[in-house]
Amino acid sequence: MAGKRFLLIPGRTSKQGQQINVGKDHAEYQTVVETLTMHAEDMKELGIVAGATVRIRTEIGEALFQCKVGEIPRGMLFVPYGPPTCRLMGGDTDGTGMPTSKGWDVEVEPV
């Protein structure tokens, strides 16, 4: 089954900042960066329940996330930066020295 397309906005969270003190390899930090926030109606439309695993695909790669309901516009997703988002990001910097890291067109499918 093909997934539905969404706009993914990665970013930093305060919880992520707190967990950095325990280290990026610690389970608590991994939980933070592997959590995807989605609008409740989008989840319902895809048959995804809170806590379910979803696969996110870009033209570069894919990663798995645990889905949660959040206050986010329909058609948009949020995930904290981390190793999973690095699998979705290309290396092209368009001469800026920083890869494009916001506003990715992604496909979402339940796992």
Instruction: Say which residue, 1 or 47, is predicted with more confidence.
Output: 47
- Scored b (16 or more CB within 10 A) or e, 25-59 reads eeeebeebbbbbbbbeebbeebebeeeeebebbbe
Q: Is the pLDDT of residue 23 over 70?
A: no
Q: Is the pLDDT of residue 25 over 80?
A: no
Q: Is the pLDDT of residue 1 over 50?
A: no
pLDDT score, position 22:
66
Q: Would you say domain 4-110 falls under CATH 3.40.50.10240?
A: no
Residues making up the chain, counted from first to last: 111
- In this prediction, residues 67-86 reach a mean pLDDT of 93
- Could you tell me if 107 and 2 are in contact, meaning their C-beta atoms sit under 8 angstroms apart? yes
* pTM for this predicted structure: 0.84
Instruction: Say which residue, 33 or 100, is predicted with more confidence.
Output: 33
